[in-house]
Amino acid sequence: MKFRFKHPTGVSRRTFCQAMPLCFIGGSSALTGAALAAPSGPLEHFFSNVKTLRAAFQQSVLTEELELIDQSQGELWLSRPGRFRWNYGTPLEQVVVADGEKLWIYDPGLEQAVLRNQDSALGDTPAGLLAGDTSPRDSYLVESLGNQGGIDWVSVFPKEADAAFSQIQFGFETDTLRLVQMLDPLQQITRIRFTDVKVNITIPPEKFVLELPEGTDIIRGSTDG
């Protein structure tokens, strides 16, 4: 994922791009930038009624011309506000955990974990938006794109010119979140498709606690202690 925070020494840009989902939007005909309308029902329903979510996901990163750059898959657990866990299973194992205060990015292959303050690390990013406790309408411009292929699409636009994304699309099927697409300022597309979605289920608190093997190298952000 392409979150706009600094990369600590020793952690590659590619590691961060794979670790953090939610930097996406599609190069599809649905991306219009047209007049911004009132918030859509499915989006409001999600932020008002979905407190927890578990799903399998497939993430694709594409160029502006929709050429595939990278693809990965895994599982997501979300507990709003502020907690999530993304487990990437293939092709490279990686775990991203936010516990409401700290953000961990763990790479078993490198035996390395990055630790950041959650608020400063996420900031104005799609992951922060999805895990937040308020509707995007409070801070973003929202446009309903209507139904395409059985999916109700809603676009979210940042009000600030230097935001980490240019636009996010949320795709809902009968009020269930199925797709998230984002276009970053460099016109790179990240697309996540959710399957086996379960909402408002009990998720054990320990799911948002990262247990690291002994000897794991912990890298802390310069301002995050």
Dig out the tokens for 178 from the structure: 């199925």
Residues 6+ apart with CB under 8 A from 89: 73, 74, 75
Three-class SS state of 96: strand
Instruction: Flag whether 211 is in a domain.
Output: no
pTM for the structure as a whole: 0.78
Q: What CATH number is attached to the domain comprising 70?
A: 2.50.20.10
Any alpha helices (H) in the chain, and if so which ranges? 13-19, 41-49, 118-122, 126-131
Residues 6+ apart with CB under 8 A from 148: 30
**Parallel, antiparallel or unpaired: strands 217-220 and 112-117:** parallel
Range with the poorest average pLDDT among 157-161, 190-194, 199-203: 157-161
Quote the number of domains for the chain. 1
User: Mean of the pLDDT values across residues 120-127?
Assistant: 76
Range with the poorest average pLDDT among 10-14, 153-157, 162-166: 10-14
Which residues sit opposite 168 in a β-bridge? 156, 182
pLDDT band at residue 4, thresholds of 50, 70 and 90? very low
Render 47-66 in DSSP notation, one character per residue: HHH--EEEEEEEEEEE-TT-
Instruction: Flag whether 224 is in a domain.
Output: no
Instruction: Flag whether 221 is in a domain.
Output: no
Instruction: Flag whether 207 is in a domain.
Output: no
- Whose structure tokens read 């054990």? 204
Cα dihedral 145→4→58→37 (10° resolution): -10
Question: Is the Cβ–Cβ distance between 94 and 76 less than 8 Å?
Answer: no
Instruction: Flag whether 169 is in a domain.
Output: yes
Residues 6+ apart with CB under 8 A from 28: 181
Instruction: Flag whether 72 is in a domain.
Output: yes
Instruction: Flag whether 53 is in a domain.
Output: yes
Q: The domain containing residue 194 runs over which residues?
A: 13-202
Q: Comparing C-alpha atoms, which of 194, 203, 140 is closest to residue 172? A: 194
Instruction: Flag whether 50 is in a domain.
Output: yes
pLDDT at 29: 34
pLDDT at 161: 72
Q: How many CA atoms, within 13 angstroms, populate the side-chain half-sphere of residue 159?
A: 7
What is the per-residue pLDDT across 55-78, written as a single tens digit (0 to 9) for each? Answer: 999 999 998 888 998 899 999 999
